[in-house]
């Protein structure tokens, strides 16, 4: 599917004198790894800037904030739009220093978590510049509508799609986002977006395409979903809170609201993937009791 895009990416790298090896898939969804030395990160996203446009958000974040945060800044960030068949694809080429992706919490120690939470606190204290999404609920509805359109190719169970619509309409509302002061948030702060900088030995957040202006509890809700309800890492969750509370008191009711919204968002993403339909239906069933005011399920995977 990505052959044409990969060929185009290779030409960009060659034109910028970047040595390259054969491409290896890092994620099936949208991230590619280019080269055996793990030195170039490439993201491919289905959709146009209007429907999926998060790559521009990522460039905006790195352009304005990477130096302040001492992040791995892309040397020659490039965004391209390419039609593959009848589908529009965006891709971004980000040559970075050597790094490895940390997807498994077993690779993280508590001191690494503390380091990452300090970075998250720094992100939440950044000055808000123009260009970042503010109307979060509206954007979430747009994402759902786009995923719903994609899912039509795979014919998910209409029963489960209808429940997903009910969940989106019930929880993707403005009220939680307006309840507390908005700051710059990472937007997708789960363990799959953590890398280790090999040269410096530091652990860093990457993947800022979902960064937006929202209460910082949006990031904290994502962390809780990831650490407690998916990985069941109580110690990591507690260590995270200890550092995050240094940045001010946390609205835990708001954290719960955002945890639910993030879980629904993750579930609807699977609705649009051909190999995740069964998991989509399983998660919809797990989340359905929320419509009757029941608590969030203890285990969510």
Indicate whether 137 and 269 sit together in one domain.
Answer: yes
Report the DSSP pairing between strands 31-34 and 212-214: unpaired
**Among 96, 117, 137, residue at a domain's last position:** 96
Q: What is the pLDDT of residue 230?
A: 84
CATH number of the structural domain spanning residue 207:
3.90.1200.10
Quote the CA–CA distance of 47 and 38 in Å, as a whole number.
26
Q: How far is CA 224 from the centre of its chain?
A: 14
* 158 and 267 in a common domain: yes
User: What integer pLDDT is reported at residue 214 of this predicted model?
Assistant: 94
Q: What is the pLDDT of residue 267?
A: 93
What residues are paired with 42 via a beta bridge?
Answer: 32, 93
Same domain as 146, residue 63: no
Could you state, in chain order, the average pLDDT of each consecutive group of 10 residues for the chain (301 residues)? 58 57 46 51 55 66 78 54 59 61 77 94 91 79 85 86 96 93 92 80 83 94 91 92 96 96 92 84 95 87 65
Domain count for the chain, please give it: 2
Among 64, 96, 128, the domain boundary falls at: 96
CATH code at position 44: 3.30.200
Question: Are the C-beta atoms of 47 and 200 separated by less than 8 Å?
Answer: no
Closest Cα to residue 268, out of 172, 184, 192, 179? 172
Its sign, for the CA torsion 161, 163, 167, 168, is positive
Decide if 93 contacts 9 (C-beta within 8 A). Answer: yes
Torsion sign, CA atoms 25, 27, 32, 33? negative
Helix-strand-coil percent breakdown of the chain, rounded to 5?
50, 15, 35
Residue where a domain terminates, one of 96, 121, 147: 96
Which domain range does residue 218 map to? 102-292
Under 8 Å between Cβ of 105 and 227:
yes
pLDDT score for 136: 79
pLDDT of residue 16: 57
The confidence score (pLDDT) of residue 251 equals 97
- Confidence (pTM): 0.83
């Amino acid at each position: 599917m990505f052959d044409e895009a990969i060929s185009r990416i290779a030409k960009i790298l060659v034109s910028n004198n970047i040595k390259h090896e054969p491409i290896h898939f890092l994620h099936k969804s949208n991230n590619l790894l280019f080269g055996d030395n793990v030195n170039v990160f490439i993201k491919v996203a289905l959709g146009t800037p209007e429907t999926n446009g998060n790559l521009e958000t990522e460039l905006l974040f790195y352009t304005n904030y990477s130096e302040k945060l001492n992040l791995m800044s892309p040397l020659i960030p490039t965004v391209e739009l390419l039609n593959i068949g009848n589908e529009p694809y965006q891709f971004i080429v980000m040559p970075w220093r050597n790094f490895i992706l940390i997807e498994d919490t077993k690779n993280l120690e508590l001191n690494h978590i503390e380091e990452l939470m300090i970075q998250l606190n720094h992100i939440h204290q950044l000055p808000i510049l123009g260009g970042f999404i503010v109307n979060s609920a509206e954007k979430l509805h747009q994402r759902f509508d786009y995923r719903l359109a994609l899912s039509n190719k795979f014919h998910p169970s209409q029963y489960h799609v209808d429940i997903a619509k009910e969940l989106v309409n019930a929880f993707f509302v403005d009220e939680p986002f307006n309840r507390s002061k908005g700051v710059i948030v990472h937007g997708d702060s789960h363990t799959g977006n953590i890398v280790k900088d090999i040269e410096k030995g530091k652990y860093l957040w990457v993947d800022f395409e979902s960064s937006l202006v929202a209460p910082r509890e949006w990031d904290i809700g994502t962390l809780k979903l990831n650490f407690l309800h998916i990985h069941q890492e109580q110690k990591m969750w507690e260590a995270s809170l200890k550092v995050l509370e240094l940045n001010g008191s946390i609205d835990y009711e708001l954290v719960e609201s955002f945890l639910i919204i993030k879980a629904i968002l993750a579930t609807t993403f699977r609705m649009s993937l051909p190999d995740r339909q069964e998991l989509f239906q399983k998660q919809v069933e797990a989340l359905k009791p929320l419509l009757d005011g029941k608590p969030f399920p203890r285990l969510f995977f």
